[in-house]
Structure 1
Amino acid sequence: MKKNVLITCPLVLLFITFCQDIIAQSRATWIWYPGDFEIWLSNNMQNRRTDRGTFFPVFWKFDSHYPLIDFHKDFTLSAPEEVKIYAEGIYNVKLDGQPLEGAPQQITVPAGKHRINVKVFNQAAVPAIYISGRTIASDASWLVTFEDKEWIDETGKTSDISATTWLNAGSWNFNSPAALPSACKLPVMPQSAVNVQKNNNASLIDFGKETFGFIKLHGVKGTGDVTLYYGESREEALNAKEAITLDRLSFQQQQAKDSVMPLSKAFRYVNMVTTGSVQVDSISMLYEHAAMKERGSFRCSDEEINNIYDVAKYTFHLNTREFFIDGIKRDRWIWSGDAYQSYLMNYYLFFDSATVSRTMLALRGKDPVTSHTNTIMDYTFYWFLGIYDYYLYTGDASFIRQFYPRMQTLMEYCLGRRNKDGLMEGMPGDWIFIDWADGLSKKGEVSFEQLLLCRSLETMKLCADIAGHQTDAARYNQYAAALKRQLFDLYWNEQKQALVHSRVDGKQTANVTRYANMFAIFYDYFNPQQKVAVKKSVLMNDSVQQITTPYMRFYELEALCALGEQDYVLKEMKDYWGGMLKLGATSFWEEYNPAKKGAEHYAMYGRAFGKSLCHAWGASPLYLLGKYYLGVRPTSPAYATYTVEPVLGSLQWMEGKVPTPQGDISIYCSTKEMKITTVEGKGLLRFRSKTKPVCKTATVISKGGDLYELTMGAAATYVVNYQSVKPEQHAKKK
């Protein structure tokens, strides 16, 4: 009885109602047609690029958002409810199919079962709504369409709209009525220069490291011009003719005022040159960033590796913006090949799935498909591979079900461009990129492109199954199996013990490159004997053309790690990424060739300072150290099952965290002890030991030789005492 009295107490009822209102309001968010905000935002972001002060647009087709969207949801209410309505655009509201007068900002929904429809038009920005009531709230469960297929006959009766395609609404983090999606901006924070050198009418301002943001001039007065030359290097900032980015301003003011530049730029140095009587008291910057939270971490016994990890982290922070971009100075665009690597790094540092899905949607755009992604054949395939990994790491099947039609139309575009032998070959308008490498042939049927298509078809088989399209799944599976057979029938060369680079006029070329061979290793396309052969004939063979970009070093070192060569890869990291640090790099570059000297390192694309000194693909140690040294990787979607396979290489100890959807897996590993703290899901610890390992809380199983396994439960800590196998001992066993 006391319980009933409490429930019917007016004060308690008032408190419960208040709490329900707060809960409904807190879960309400701005919603839109899925993918439209991502396209609109990416259009705005990518069109901020300038070159010597000139607008520099992308090379590919831009899509746009749908300007008219219908939103609806059905509700069953136990009591009448006041609902507030906010919209970006002009709108009307229907309750149970009946239009309400004007554009109401608040409506009363009676008790019972009802449907709310809101139709919004906005040509300039994405049509979006924010609905908030006691229990009614706009969220991803609302359904949306860009064409409702409704019509009204001569009697006033509305048509059947069962042919309308409804999707779940898109959303992000705009969780209050005032947080308008159209006003989306990254946060900024003030930062000061570390050094200023003045010389007559010029000042060279050094911010100490590579950075990104808006230059702010303090106390500007007088009449004259101010020109700002930005430089990732001192040499670039001081070269007025060759600096890639600049700002030119004119002033005529008696009172000292502050001035903030209209566009954010990448720089370490800024060379300010003034004319006339204009004076500037000082210069600072507003650092623009994505405010990402780091969840992954890595520390080890080698301080140089720790430094490489820290600079890789900073490089990745700078290139993580509204989307994952390629580099912060020159392009500032979303390139699919660059973004694919960023997804993988993200899973081991931020685990921010929203930025991954947002970037994939921006890259895909809309139908019809008129060219490859970014016009690059391999970049189209990377888009599919990104979805494969996205599902493996996050388990987000709803994304695949929602966007399967866009996956399918893009894949059908690719399949429609195969030649008579069922192989991909460059057609007019296709850019076959692969890598920046001198003299790399793109003629004929390149093995690398066939391999990427094969993996993309395997992705489509997976996605078709999830989306419930079994006929499609069977067809894509058949295509993938046939192409894999062709890959080995047409490109494997027994004498060279490798996949050759290409076929021209139906015949193998003599050239062997690293690309298809190293991908086939970590995709597990080779049998064990072929892996050993390719390791010797290609990966460890200096006569095969060397790779000089971090972009492809990423995959080369991944292949070597997959073959157990962590000790060798550690030395390569110290040589390659450490080489950049020895030259004073504060972020990692687009390309690094140790044979170059001085300012030669800054040149690319025929320009003295064309190279990006802060490029996303330079941050790959984040991924390599997380996946192949700490050794954590999912083996089923969302880490329902996963392996932890720590490999020290030549390190004495290492420790770190790897983020998952359920929390962070913690690892400590020395030559004598391992300590693993797990999350939800079933883990498998796999390791090598010279002696029989001991774990007091679990059973260690011998798998033969020096290999052992231990099954780990959820949310537990396991301590294993063992004796690590030295790299050279392991190498001999192979």
Structure 2
Amino acid sequence: MKNLKKLILLTIFTCSAAQLFAQKASWIWYPGDFDIYMSNVMQNRRTERGSFFPVFWKMDSHYVLVDFHKEFNLAQSEEVKLFVEGTYNVKIDGQAIAGFPKSIQIPTGKHKLSLKVYNQAHVPAIFVQGKTIVSDETWLTTFEDKEWIDASGKTSDKSGTTFVSAGSWNLTDPTQLPSQFKLPVKGIAAVSRKKNEGGEVLDFGKETFGFIKVHGLKGKGRLSLFYGESAEEAYSEDKCETLDYVDIDLAVKKDSIMPLSKAFRYVNRQTTGNVTVDSISMLYEYSPVTERGSFKSSDEELNKIYDVAKYTFHLNTREFFIDGIKRDRWVWSGDAYQSYLMNYYSFFDAPTVKRTLLAQRGKDPVTAHINTIMDYSFYWFLGIYDYYKFTGDKKFVQDIYPRMQSLMTYIDGRKNKNGLLEWMPGDWIFIDWADKLSKDGEVSFEQLLYARSLETMALCAKLANDTEGITKYEKQAKELKSKIFELYWNQNKSALVHSRIDDKQTDNVTRYANMFGIFFDYFTPEQKLAVKKNVLLNDQIAKITTPYMRFYELEALCAMGEQPYVLKEMKNYWGGMLKLGATSFWEEYNPDKKGTEHLAMYGRPFGKSLCHAWGASPIYLLGKYYLGVQPTTPGYETYMIEPNLGGLAWMEGKVPTANGDISVFCSKKEIKISSPTGVGQLKIKSKTKPVVKGAKVKEVSKGIYEVMIEKGKDYHMKYSG
């Protein structure tokens, strides 16, 4: 009887485990292919006043013929359902099954299930569903199986084929083809309607994104929709950036949804002929990410800045991390790199980071820098190591490492006689949107990013077990760092100069290389202090007017302990946009501009994006440098918590990790911490020795104390800040 009960329990457990495992089945494809395909679909949705506006760089495509396989050892035979996007064949142990089976029976024992799929139009993909046999990233795949057959008809068991782990997006509905993937939408009504000559202007209350839905459309004539992130843009029918024209011939009322999503707050609806409209609403399109990170403080303006930053970032988190929702809606590497960092302190959405990195890189051969921009290639490298640092996902680094190698080989091949990088035909050196910013000669900023990328290559080579690569990249990085300080450091200016032309230093000092040198930790302590004084806090050095580079400027100052100063800057800069009515943060903000000057860019009156991902950087700054949480080893196995109020009376928030959220509360007299992961080190400055129940307080230097934080425990510290 006891054995029977055990058998029943074991059977129930086995069935439950099998059902649970089966639920993990997902559509799979050759790694990176669906990412490339979907980025092509998304980036080619951009329009400018109704005209198609394609990207500036080479677009790759998916492999059209892909082989998938996996070996299984079954305790009992199993029926397996097959869902395939494309034309396919199926083999069990190398023996083809006739026709296009929707389900197959795999017998007991060890067997190899293979599917080969052809699809020119869409990505070859499969979904395999059995009790224990399911498609997931443990399947192996190749785009060339290199099979050969001898005269007897026997297939060779020796092949030069390279098999790699399959890719997936966790698309778990077998009836929903990957090519049909869409982000979810929900209906939203306008908050106000105002009659306008020939129509009306609708206000949706704040910056938003989605599809306009026209209700009760009837008549013959034209429906025109003019979109605006500002009211001025929506009213400007001849200058607004985006619009829709629809010719109507309807005898009965009908609802109609515009074919392309748009960014807007205001919509100016106009009609000609006898066209009538009952009402207009929108379908808000969004990425279903989970809100995990949080921040709240004693400063209500700062809280508002944080909330608007998070909304801005969510709007620009789509299938990938994009730059802005009005334009360009492209996967720019420099913009995405900042999005990764903000993501680690908000959604901690690792899949979107991976998708974006794969989409940016595309396929070999490399013929240009990522997005054609030299600095953007380097941000791509940095994004991969940061991904590993925050998630601990070693496998992704190993999988993408060959693509890192080929891109770095391309870059190494473009060095000049001095072993440095400078502009070559086909390159775009961006750095930042700034008037009179020279890109001539050997720019120090590019060399700094190059050195950091080589260091990243050495670290990733270790993860990929590439011993030759470790030696090679470490040597290159060390030599380049030495060369940077030999060639660009100016003792009189106590800073790195901006560039060299004709083998000579220029007189120009800019903020870019100098602020990166601080948080890259390339400077000596003395050099850091000199750079802070002579560059970062020097009003004679050209100011930065984009949130893009304010991100790094304020990070450098935070790394130097200037949180009180940075808090004032955040309130002035981002608070300045809020005072002008911003409901999301902009691509560029210059406080010296007036009125509609704030809307103009690129020589167009409404060219500026009023919802740009790089405008959301307070998310990162507040999480890393005020709450003070950051990993010290990959995946938060160990981490540091170093709260800095920066002039606030109190603050609280959560920092997400792969294993849960770290909670921090800090005031001038107490700190509360709880963590579900790793081993943390709380570091705090206090006039007297802090008191913490159930924990040992260690003084590491005068007035600096540390406490070890163990997972699953709550800590309450009393201190004198």
1:510-536: CA deviations, max 9, x gaps?
000000000010011001000000000
1:592-621: CA deviations, max 9, x gaps?
001100000011001010000000000000
Deviation at 1:453, TM superposition (A): 0.3
- Give the structure 1 partner of residue 265 of structure 2: 268
Q: Distance in 2 between matches of 1:17 and 1:349?
A: 38
Q: Which one-letter code corresponds to 2:255 in the other structure?
A: D
Q: Distance in 2 between matches of 1:56 and 1:130?
A: 35
One of 574, 598, 602 as aligned partner of 1:601:
598
Deviation at 1:90, TM superposition (A): 0.8
- Give the structure 2 partner of residue 179 of structure 1: 176
Q: Secondary structure, in 3 states, of the residue corresponding to 2:84?
A: strand
Deviation at 1:717, TM superposition (A): 1.2
- Give the structure 2 partner of residue 219 of structure 1: 216
Deviation at 1:417, TM superposition (A): 0.3
Q: Which one-letter code corresponds to 2:695 in the other structure?
A: A
- Give the structure 1 partner of residue 415 of structure 2: 418
Asked if residue 41 in structure 1 is aligned to residue 43 in structure 2, the reply is no
Q: Which one-letter code corresponds to 1:418 in the other structure?
A: K
1:649-697: CA deviations, max 9, x gaps?
1100000000011110000000000011122211000111122211122
Q: Normalization by structure 1: what TM-score?
A: 0.97
- Give the structure 2 partner of residue 230 of structure 1: 227
Asked if residue 353 in structure 1 is aligned to residue 364 in structure 2, the reply is no
- Give the structure 1 partner of residue 365 of structure 2: 368
Deviation at 1:18, TM superposition (A): 5.1
Asked if residue 5 in structure 1 is aligned to residue 4 in structure 2, the reply is yes
* Contact 2:677–2:711 under 8 Å retained in 1: yes
Q: Which one-letter code corresponds to 1:297 in the other structure?
A: S
Q: Which one-letter code corresponds to 1:357 in the other structure?
A: K
Deviation at 1:15, TM superposition (A): 5.3
Q: Distance in 2 between matches of 1:44 and 1:684?
A: 45
One of 301, 304, 307 as aligned partner of 1:304:
301
Asked if residue 163 in structure 1 is aligned to residue 167 in structure 2, the reply is no
One of 250, 275, 290 as aligned partner of 2:247:
250
Q: Which one-letter code corresponds to 1:3 in the other structure?
A: K
Deviation at 1:17, TM superposition (A): 6.9
1:125-181: CA deviations, max 9, x gaps?
111111111211111111000000002222111123431100011111211211321
- Give the structure 1 partner of residue 522 of structure 2: 525
- Give the structure 2 partner of residue 148 of structure 1: 145
Q: Distance in 2 between matches of 1:554 and 1:23?
A: 43
Asked if residue 498 in structure 1 is aligned to residue 501 in structure 2, the reply is no
**Gaps spanning 5+ residues in structure 2: where?**
none
Q: Secondary structure, in 3 states, of the residue corresponding to 1:135?
A: coil
Q: Distance in 2 between matches of 1:599 and 1:27?
A: 52
Deviation at 1:707, TM superposition (A): 1.3
One of 502, 508, 513 as aligned partner of 2:510:
513
* Contact 1:500–1:510 under 8 Å retained in 2: yes
Deviation at 1:701, TM superposition (A): 1.2
Deviation at 1:108, TM superposition (A): 1.1
- Give the structure 1 partner of residue 634 of structure 2: 637
* Contact 2:676–2:711 under 8 Å retained in 1: yes
One of 475, 486, 489 as aligned partner of 1:489:
486
Q: Which one-letter code corresponds to 1:535 in the other structure?
A: K
Q: Distance in 2 between matches of 1:142 and 1:642?
A: 34
* Contact 2:320–2:331 under 8 Å retained in 1: yes
Q: Distance in 1 between matches of 2:13 and 2:313?
A: 45
- Give the structure 2 partner of residue 732 of structure 1: none
Q: Distance in 2 between matches of 1:660 and 1:200?
A: 53
1:31-83: CA deviations, max 9, x gaps?
11100010000000000000010111000000000011100011111111111
Deviation at 1:8, TM superposition (A): 5.3
Deviation at 1:709, TM superposition (A): 1.1
- Give the structure 2 partner of residue 240 of structure 1: 237
Deviation at 1:705, TM superposition (A): 2.2
* Contact 1:24–1:132 under 8 Å retained in 2: no
Q: Distance in 1 between matches of 2:288 and 2:20?
A: 26
Q: Which one-letter code corresponds to 2:516 in the other structure?
A: F
Q: Distance in 2 between matches of 1:622 and 1:166?
A: 40
Q: Distance in 2 between matches of 1:134 and 1:153?
A: 37
- Give the structure 2 partner of residue 55 of structure 1: 52
* Contact 1:312–1:621 under 8 Å retained in 2: yes
- Give the structure 2 partner of residue 190 of structure 1: 187
Q: Which one-letter code corresponds to 1:230 in the other structure?
A: Y
Asked if residue 277 in structure 1 is aligned to residue 267 in structure 2, the reply is no
Q: Distance in 2 between matches of 1:5 and 1:324?
A: 55
One of 106, 113, 124 as aligned partner of 1:127:
124
Q: Which one-letter code corresponds to 1:59 in the other structure?
A: F
- Give the structure 1 partner of residue 649 of structure 2: 652
How do 1:319-468 and structure 2 match up within 5 A?
319-468=316-465
Q: Secondary structure, in 3 states, of the residue corresponding to 1:613?
A: coil
How do 1:92-103 and structure 2 match up within 5 A?
92-103=89-100
- Give the structure 2 partner of residue 540 of structure 1: 537
Q: Distance in 1 between matches of 2:585 and 2:307?
A: 11
- Give the structure 2 partner of residue 668 of structure 1: 665
- Give the structure 2 partner of residue 707 of structure 1: 704
Q: Distance in 2 between matches of 1:628 and 1:379?
A: 25
Q: Distance in 1 between matches of 2:173 and 2:183?
A: 17
1:260-309: CA deviations, max 9, x gaps?
00000000000011111100011100000001111100000000000000
The answer to which of 198-207 and 565-574 deviates more is 198-207
Deviation at 1:13, TM superposition (A): 8.4
1:621-665: CA deviations, max 9, x gaps?
000000000000000000001000000011000000000111100
* Contact 1:24–1:133 under 8 Å retained in 2: no
* Contact 2:147–2:159 under 8 Å retained in 1: no
Deviation at 1:368, TM superposition (A): 0.4
* Contact 1:301–1:653 under 8 Å retained in 2: yes
Q: Secondary structure, in 3 states, of the residue corresponding to 1:27?
A: coil
**Gaps spanning 5+ residues in structure 1: where?**
725-734
One of 135, 138, 163 as aligned partner of 1:138:
135
1:303-326: CA deviations, max 9, x gaps?
000000000000001000000000
- Give the structure 2 partner of residue 313 of structure 1: 310
Q: Secondary structure, in 3 states, of the residue corresponding to 1:703?
A: strand
Q: Which one-letter code corresponds to 1:330 in the other structure?
A: R
The answer to which of 158-167 and 440-449 deviates more is 158-167
Q: Distance in 2 between matches of 1:200 and 1:241?
A: 15
Number of aligned positions between the proteins: 721
Q: CA 1:477/1:160 → structure 2, altered by over 3 Å: closer, same or farther? A: same
* Contact 1:149–1:161 under 8 Å retained in 2: no
Q: Which one-letter code corresponds to 1:392 in the other structure?
A: K
Identity in percent: 65
Q: Distance in 1 between matches of 2:70 and 2:202?
A: 56
Deviation at 1:184, TM superposition (A): 0.6
Q: What is the alpha-carbon root mean square deviation over aligned residues?
A: 1.1
One of 473, 485, 497 as aligned partner of 2:470:
473
- Give the structure 2 partner of residue 565 of structure 1: 562
Q: Distance in 2 between matches of 1:200 and 1:384?
A: 53
Q: Normalization by structure 2: what TM-score?
A: 0.99
Q: Distance in 2 between matches of 1:589 and 1:243?
A: 17
